[in-house]
A and B are shown apart, each in its own frame.
Chain A
Amino acid sequence: MGVPTIRINARSLAHNRHDTMPTRPSDITRYNGAAIALHWLIAALIVCGFYIGWIMTDIPGFTPTKLKYFSWHKWIGVTVFALAVLRVLWRATHRAPALDDATPGWQKAAAHLVHGVLYLLMLAIPLSGYFYTSAAGIPVVYLGIVPLPTFIGPDQALKATLRTVHVLLNYTLLALVAMHVLAALKHQFVDRDGLLARMVPFLKTRA
């Protein structure tokens, strides 16, 4: 796309006005190195954490492997939380590359909504797990070295509630990640609009 399409309509103007500070949207075509690194690191950790969480709860009874998986799962969760905090801070202090003006409004809205909820879940899921294990009376010792504080004591009723919350949030995450990935693939292989280059290193932007 050599020449940006200029469309004069209210929505486009509103969009541009919103996005003109401090740089014009067209100036940023991709996320910077820190944001890209955080995105992929967190994504990889979420996949590992989710997978371990999935299989560890299927192990019947009580085995050394299960205990190991529980610990690894918690360490991954704590790491995701810490990185997600950094990422939210990055996002709060930086501008995301603007979406193509040709993108339909509902798609922009959907993208922003999904991104927003993903940020929320990156924080909420580790927190729900953390409180769940606290309620179960088992504190977290990060990497088996650093004992982390507990904010709530053992509580059987709360434990059951937090377990449900943790599981439901994870299914929500699974659904949203599926949408996020499918949308990205659609942009890359159906629309062929180079959108993925915003977040994938070494990928060519179309602009």
Chain B
Amino acid sequence: MNARDSDRMRTTMKTTRYHFHHFARRAALAGLAAFSLFGASLAHADVDLARSSVVATTKQMNVPVDGKFKKFSAQLNFDPAKPTAGNANVSIDTASYDLGADDYNKQAQGKEWFDSAAFPNATFVSSAIAPAGGNQYKVTGKLTIKGKSQTVVVPVVIASQGATQTFDGSLPIKRTQFDVGTGEWKDTSVVADEVVIKFHLVSTKK
């Protein structure tokens, strides 16, 4: 390493340091903003778990089998006057999937299905809301399950009653696109590829 090189390196480091400070300050500000936004959404439209449900229905040998997600959280911000300004952020605890029997639930949490240890949450983050006539809307967003993301368009019926809003809809997905059901379960003749996620979310503005 010659003198010129080490000189250039010192300059680079200084620049990096400056950039880092700058970045840290901006990050802190952004974090604060995000926190207050998050706080705001918490205060305004957090989902009421007791009155909400998220059910994923699989077809096993053509038999519809319902499984309920017992734990999930969602921030839903929606103003019927400005529908396109709304947004939704849903996070589902994959280990809470309940098929009605402990051994089946354990299986669902296992590596071949949700792999809940590595991927504890499935998420949906909206990117756009488009009115689809009446109280129906099409919510575009990114659905992430088991680390695999797909852009989906969810048809949602939104009803407001006083401070309470309800969001209803169902979304058919292909489980193999998310690697849910690997190994011998890839055979979709036993458990069908299509899984319907049906949700009923109730949020109350405070």
Contacts and interface: CB of A to CB of B under 8 A. Distances in A.
Interface of A: 61-64, 67-68, 70-71, 136-141, 144-145, 154, 156
A62 B107 contact: yes
Contacts of B101: 136
Interface stretch (B46-54, B59-67, B83-91, B151-159): B59-67
Interface in B31-72: 60-66
23 contacts: A62-B103, A62-B104, A64-B184, A64-B187, A67-B60, A67-B190, A67-B191, A68-B61, A70-B61, A71-B60, A71-B61, A137-B65, A138-B60, A138-B65, A139-B63, A139-B64, A140-B63, A141-B61, A141-B62, A141-B63, A144-B62, A145-B62, A156-B100
Contacts, number: 43
Contacts of B190: 64, 67-68
Contacts of A63: 184
Interface residues of B, number: 18
Contacts of B178: none
Top 8 A-B pairs ranked by shortest CB distance? Answer: A144-B62, A71-B61, A62-B107, A64-B190, A137-B100, A141-B63, A141-B62, A67-B190
A131 to B, nearest CB: 15
Given A62-B103, A137-B100, A144 B61 contact: yes
Nearest to A63: B184
